[in-house]
Amino acid sequence: MPELPEVEVSRLGISPHLVGQTITSVVVRQPKLRWPVAEELKQAEGQQIKAVRRRAKYLLIDIGVAQIVLHLGMSGKLRVVPATLEPIKHDHLDIVLGSGKCLRFNDARRFGACLWQADGETLPQLENLGPEPLTESFTAQHLFALSRGRKAPVKSFIMDNDVVVGVGNIYANEALFMANIDPRRAAGRISLQRYQKLAKEIKEVLASAIQQGGTTLKDFTQSDGSPGYFRQHLRVYGRAGKACEACEGIINSVVIGQRNTFFCPRCQR
């Protein structure tokens, strides 16, 4: 599933092709995605794209009167291609631009979304979200304050979008390893000092993944079709049974919150 770095890489990849362009038409081939494709999309025709922003794992294409809100779901891909290029299987949506190109949304599993957010309104999906992890509003003090009394595992805690957005499974595993924190440990039993380390590592692992182009797993590619390269730097994720790069102990795997979780029992406590 594309996580925050992959979504941010997509934003960086498509923005130069979209900002300043006028939307000439919207072509919907498959209206049934995770939620029905917004009928209001036709109102985007003739509007100029002002900006492409990201909130959590949602991309917001700002056209002044509204935002077209895209979510990549589990397998979604965005490409900027000539509008005359024949669509392939699972190419569900085109936003056609005055440049002769289009933003094409492909989603094999159809868990993605294309929604409409009128200016001044907020979609339910974007309400009550925590701070962005790469901003100054995300701090150790924020984590510490929200964690008091929490019995849930710290991994589940930092993956809660009400706490902080965009820390998905891969990067939660990696940040907890770098911070030497056992993912099974109760969130409420972690000190402020240790949350200072964890907040720092969350920022660093996400920033590094964005810089390196996102993580290529099964489905994600960048907007130009090239893969992300962060996977080669994963320290624990997907490495169960292999030697820890730090201590040469064996990486363990457990299930936390229905997600595979990887950690080194020697390094993490």
Residues labelled as active-site residues: 2-3, 57, 259
Number of residues written out for the chain = 269
- 150 annotated ligand binder: yes
- DSSP letters along 159-170, please? T-TTTSS---HH
- 109 annotated ligand binder: yes
Task: Please report where in the chains the tokens 């363990």 appear, as a residue.
Answer: 252
Alpha helices in the chain (DSSP H): 4-18, 140-147, 154-158, 169-178, 192-211
Alpha-carbon distance of 186 to 154, in angstroms, equals: 6
- 104 annotated ligand binder: no
What dihedral angle (degrees, nearest 10) is formed by the CA atoms of 12, 18, 20, 26? -150
Alpha-carbon distance of 266 to 180, in angstroms, equals: 9
Helix axes 169-178, 192-211, angle to 10 degrees: 130
Structure tokens at 207: 């920033």
* Residues of each annotated binding site for DNA: 90, 109, 150
* Residues of each annotated binding site: 90, 109, 150
